[in-house]
Every structure is written in C-alpha cells, then in structure tokens.
C-alpha cells in the first residue's frame, strides 16, 4: 500500500518529495518510507534519494504490478481488487478460479506472460513476456444471461478508447496517429491490422449469471510479428515510441467503468451505440459472415442496441447477426 501511494506521490510531483512529507502523508515512519523506496528500486524503479531533499522518481519501468496499476487507477470498482502474476497459465483461468473462491465484482487479473493463453474458437493465444497486456476482468453483473455477451462489446469499446487516449498522449503535438477501431465483435484494429482480441467466458444458470470473465490481450510494445501473423500490429508501431502498459490498463478500467454503468442501467447498448459505431471499422464495408454451416455476404450497417451486427443482404433485407460463434471477414481482406 505504501509502495502504491509513494509511486503516486513521486510520479505526480515529478520532483523531489521530502521524506518528512511522505511520512506525514501516509502516517508512517521514515523507516517505512525508506523500505518502500528500497522495494521499488528492486522492482526496477530508478529512485534518487538525496539527504535534505528527499526522493525523486527518475525513470519508470514498464511493469505490470499491483502497485503500478493501483497508483494509476481512478475507478470506484473496476480493478480495485487486482492480482498480477509474473506467469500464469491463462488470466481467464485464474480469474475464473478467483471467482469460484468468491473474489469481488471488478477483480482484475494480469500476467506478464501466459503459458496457456487462450484465443477464440479453441485457438491458442501466443503470450510472450515483456511487451503485451494479458488481462481478465471478473464481473458479477445483475443482468439476464442472454444479455451478458454484450459485455464483450462494452470491453471492446473501452479498450479502443483507452488505446486511442494512450496513442494521442504519446503523439503530444506531433501529427496525428491513426485511431484504434473495432472489428465486430471481438477485435481491435489499427490501420487494418489486429492489435487486440477479446475472449469472454461465463458461468451461468438458466436465469442467473454467477460471473463473467472478459479476457483481453493487447499488443502494446511488440516490435515485429512472425510471418504467420500478417494481420497483427502493435500500438508501438504507430506511437513511434514505447508505451507504459500499466497506464493502458488503468485507462481501460476507467473507460470500462464509465461504459459499464451506462450498459447496466438499460441492460443494452442503446447509450453506447453511437460511440461504438464511430469506431466500427466494418461500417459501410462488404462483409462475409461465417456462421457454423452458413455463409453470407452483405454490407455492415452498424449494430443494434442488443449488440448484433446489422448486415444488409443483396436482396435489401437486413440480417441481425448475433455475436456467438460467428466470424466476420472483410470481402477484400481481414477488415
């Protein structure tokens, strides 16, 4: 806790903060402050300590830890209970385990690397350490089970807005960078390439949701991708400089909380539709909808307030496509 408060105080000041001031602010001894600084140094923070001046944060490492995330959070609920692993099998699996053990609504699980990262439709999600965000948010929504799949779209919108805010902070003053868009229903895209994917899993009964886990993997600082992934991109490739993953995670939580409140009130996306469609890269495009045993082509018009993709077919009729096990491709490529 002191570590988190100390990080916040030093980062916000940007200059020396005296040991005395830190002691008074946190109501602890000088030794406790000194110990917190020593622990932060061990974790890779460059902290200068000068007698009579105090402590100053010289450099921030790109770490995904409870203290780093917690010191940036501005939310009431989302991410307030946060568990970070150096290595996990899958943050979705860990979030489900914590859910079964009674972890609260809004619990966030992050990992530096995953040994069994999971993608949609049973695929693996490659999860090397160092450059990406792997996180899962545990929710206990008071909505009907058939409405829970809309939460994937709420997370997509929140994460896209968070990526865009981070990109514009990085661009500060320079010519604008491209915007992260949404490829319905699960992907974030930048310049026509995939930067993030979402996997939502849930435990429900006929008319009751035990919990929902929304997992998201975001390519943040990855510098290049193997040939087998021609449609992948990272934020860094467009930001032109490395970004801080904890800053992105905290922003995601902030946007998610804002949009979740709006979703929960009506149990639909009516109040988010406009924002969602503004970022929807499929909009106005020819898409191929691949459903198990069925394939059709049409023009994507937008989304319904229930989160379905509205596709105008060649005969002029409008088909509502439900997210489920569907895959949507551009007729001329990935988007």
- Per CB under 6 A, residues contacting ligand BTN are 90-92, 114, 117-120, 123, 125, 134-136, 186, 197-199, 215-217
Residues contacting 85, CB < 8 A, separation 6+: 91, 94, 109, 110, 111, 112
User: Residue for token digits 């922003």?
Assistant: 251
Q: How far is CA 236 from CA 72, 127, 195, 243, in A?
A: 21, 17, 10, 7
Omega of the bond prior to 185 within 30 degrees of 0, cis? yes
Residue nearest ligand BTN (C-beta atom)? 197
Is the Cβ of residue 3 or residue 183 nearer to ligand BTN in the bound state?
183
For the record, the structure tokens of 45 come out as 């923070």
H-assigned helices in 202-307:
236-239, 245-266, 273-279
CB of 199 to ligand BTN, least distance (A): 4
CB of 143 to ligand BTN, least distance (A): 22
Is the Cβ of residue 92 or residue 282 nearer to ligand BTN in the bound state?
92
Is the Cβ of residue 113 or residue 168 nearer to ligand BTN in the bound state?
113
Is the Cβ of residue 33 or residue 111 nearer to ligand BTN in the bound state?
111
CB of 176 to ligand BTN, least distance (A): 27
Kind plus residue range of the DSSP H or E element containing 148:
none
CB of 137 to ligand BTN, least distance (A): 10
CB of 325 to ligand BTN, least distance (A): 12
Is the Cβ of residue 54 or residue 217 nearer to ligand BTN in the bound state?
217
Cα distance between residue 80 and residue 106, in whole Å? 7
């Amino acid at each position: 806790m002191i570590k988190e408060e100390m990080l916040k105080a030093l980062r916000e000041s940007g200059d020396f903060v005296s040991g005395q001031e830190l002691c008074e602010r946190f109501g602890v001894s000088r030794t406790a402050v000194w110990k917190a600084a020593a622990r932060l140094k061990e974790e890779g923070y460059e902290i200068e300590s000068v007698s009579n001046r105090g402590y100053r944060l010289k450099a921030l490492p790109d770490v995904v830890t409870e203290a780093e995330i917690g010191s940036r959070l501005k939310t009431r609920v989302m991410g307030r209970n946060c568990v970070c692993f150096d290595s996990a099998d899958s943050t979705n699996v860990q979030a489900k385990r914590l859910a079964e053990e009674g972890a609260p609504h809004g619990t966030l699980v992050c990992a530096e690397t995953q040994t069994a990262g999971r993608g949609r439709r049973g695929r693996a999600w490659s999860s090397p350490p160092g450059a990406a965000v792997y996180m899962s948010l545990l929710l206990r929504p008071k909505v009907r089970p058939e409405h829970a799949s809309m939460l994937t779209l709420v997370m997509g919108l929140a994460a896209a807005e968070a990526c865009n805010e981070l990109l514009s902070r990085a661009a500060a003053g320079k010519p604008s960078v491209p915007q992260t868009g949404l490829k319905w229903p699960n992907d974030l895209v930048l310049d026509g390439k995939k930067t993030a994917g979402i996997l939502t899993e849930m435990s429900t009964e006929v008319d009751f949701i035990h919990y929902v886990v929304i997992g998201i993997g975001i390519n943040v600082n990855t510098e290049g991708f193997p040939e087998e992934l021609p449609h992948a991109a990272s934020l860094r490739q467009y930001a032109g400089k490395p970004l801080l993953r904890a800053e992105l995670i905290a922003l995601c939580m902030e946007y998610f909380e804002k949009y979740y409140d709006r979703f929960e009130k009506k149990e639909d996306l009516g109040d988010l539709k406009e924002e969602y469609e503004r970022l929807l890269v499929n909009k106005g495009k020819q898409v191929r909808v691949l459903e198990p045993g069925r394939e059709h082509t049409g023009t994507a018009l937008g989304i319904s307030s229930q989160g379905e993709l509205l596709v105008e077919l060649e005969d002029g009729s409008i088909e509502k496509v439900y997210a489920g096990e569907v895959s949507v491709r551009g007729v001329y490529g990935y988007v």
